[in-house]
Structure 1
Amino acid sequence: MGNPTVELVYGPATELVRQDPHNKDVVATPFSVLKAQEGLIKIYYGVQHEDKVTAYHVIVWESYEHHKKLMDDTTTYPKLTGSVESVFDKSKGPVTMLHVDTTNEPYKAFEAPVVEIATFTLREGQSKSELEGLVKTLADAINANEPGTNGAFHASWGPAREKDNAFVLFIGWSSVDAHWNLVKSDPGAIALIGRCRAISDVEVVHVPLALY
């Protein structure tokens, strides 16, 4: 079996989710549908730390094809998309879905106290292979240390299927502050991130996730 595909789904949270981001009752219906699907490995969920209003579902599949089979199921998939109204308030904005084909297992990143989700989108005229190498170097640098060093536990990354020139990096941290402290004080990290920002647009959010 290869490395898993991570499905990221995020959008404006309902009031119930904002008040209690890890309320199992609110997600029970959609997640029960997911749990019954072949190829489903794990489901995590939470609300973005920065804005406190964007709900995230992080769904790990054995492969993209397993999720595609569900999306093509004209009976089951509408039940799933209808039931997420308990989580996502579509009147306040769109719900986005991305698939990330990970290059290593992601679980330790998602099960840390908070996960950083960094999206690197290549700028026009820049080298995709250079950006891929830089993101890999960032992840390898985290994973070369003992888990917990400088507050970092694990990194996983991969290309985004829906965005041809984008890579997504997941890093598990002990806290949001631990992340920002490292990137402000570690010369190697500062240099690497600077090189990434020179050729790509970088978006960073943090989400405390719970395992369903």
Structure 2
Amino acid sequence: MPAIQIASFPASDAFLEALASDPEKIKAPLTGLLAAKGHTGSFFGLQVENGKTVYFVSVWESLEAHQAFTKDPNYGELIEKIKPAAAGPMERHHIDIKADAGTALASPATEFVVFTLKAGGTADKLVPLLEELGKGLDIAAGAHAPCVWGQCVEDKTKFLLIVGWDTVAAHWEAVKEGTDLHKTVGKILAVTDLSIAHSLLKQG
């Protein structure tokens, strides 16, 4: 089953300067990753909302393929090359997905949502609601279907959703009050807390 790693971290001044002046420099450290067995794509970008959080997403044929890469000498070299880009700790999540994530990640704007189960909330309650949400998002105006989502491998209380859009504004228009999607999100908020962010990703 395909898997995604979503990493985020506060950007260093050096990273922000490189991104503004010559984004191609940022791709250079990724050479070892691009050649890794089972790796099918990488994307990176800044969070739209704060302009300081970096998102780095790598797509794999399976979770096992990524885990195998972490034991490769190239992995340690990659981490050392990435360190100067970070001004703080890196948060990483893995999810297994059932659809191709390439469309959502290559869209003009990409939405990232983290759902965290509330006390009393369970995966059994949430999963049908996420299925309902996903179906609605895939036919929403301005969306780039399919969206992808899954339960976090490291923390079973978290679920992650990735959606591609024409623009950030298209997302907010699709889920505004009075829409069916808004109603579905309301039901989800009964069992989870959620955080939403967007990025204009570039392919690594």
How would you bin the TM-score normalised by the shorter chain? over 0.9
Q: What's 2:143 paired with?
A: 152
The equivalent residue for 1:87 is: 85
The 5 Å alignment of 1:1-212 reads: 2=1, 4-19=2-17, 20=19, 23-29=23-29, 31-73=30-72, 75-89=73-87, 93-143=88-138, 145=139, 149-154=140-145, 155-212=147-204
- Residues in 2 aligned to 1:17 and 1:184: alpha-carbon distance in whole angstroms: 35
Aligned mates of 2:27, 2:13 — CA distance in 1: 13
Deviation at 1:199, TM superposition (A): 0.7
CA contact (8 A) 1:120 1:167 kept: yes
TM norm structure 1: 0.89
Q: Which amino acid aligns with 1:28?
A: A
- The 1:183–1:24 alpha-carbon spacing in structure 2 relative to 1, beyond 3 Å, is same
Contact 2:33 2:74 (C-alpha < 8 Å) held by counterparts: no
Find the aligned partners of 2:182 and 2:14 in 1 and give their Cα distance.
39
Q: Distance in 2 between matches of 1:202 and 1:97?
A: 17
Q: Which one is further off, 124-133 or 35-44? A: 124-133
CA contact (8 A) 2:137 2:181 kept: no
> How far 1:130 moved relative to its partner?
1.5
- Note the alpha carbon deviations across 1:146-183, whole angstroms, 9 max, x for none: xxx52111211111101112211111011111111121
Residue 185 of structure 1 deviates from its aligned partner by 4.4
Task: Give, in whole Å, the separation in 2 of the partners of 1:125 and 1:67.
Answer: 33
Normalised by the size of structure 2, how large is the TM-score? 0.92
Structure 1 gaps of 5+ residues are none
Once structures 1 and 2 are overlaid, which stretch shifts more, 49-58 or 181-190?
Answer: 181-190
Question: Over the residues paired in the alignment, what is the CA RMSD in angstroms?
Answer: 1.6
What CA deviation, in whole Å up to 9, does each residue of 1:102-148 have, x standing for no partner?
121111111111110111111121231121111111111222x2xxx
